[in-house]
């Protein structure tokens, strides 16, 4: 059974960057060696 990132770390969905497309949190497995970008946080 694959553990998808969206299921394991749902809090990361809001930080997912459009630069990662076509990958989505539903298509990446937790613990994969893929590098992902996260959105810049505005303070």
Neighbours of 25 (CB within 10 A): 20
Q: Is cis: bond before 43, omega within 30 of 0?
A: no
Per-residue pLDDT of the chain (43 residues; tens, 9 = 90+): 678 989 998 988 888 888 988 989 898 888 887 787 877 666 6
pTM > 0.75: no
Domain ranges of the chain: 1-34
């Amino acid at each position: 059974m694959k553990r998808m990132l969206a299921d394991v770390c749902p809090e990361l969905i809001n930080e997912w960057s459009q630069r990662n497309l076509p990958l989505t949190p539903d298509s990446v497995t937790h613990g994969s060696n893929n590098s992902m970008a996260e959105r810049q946080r505005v303070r």
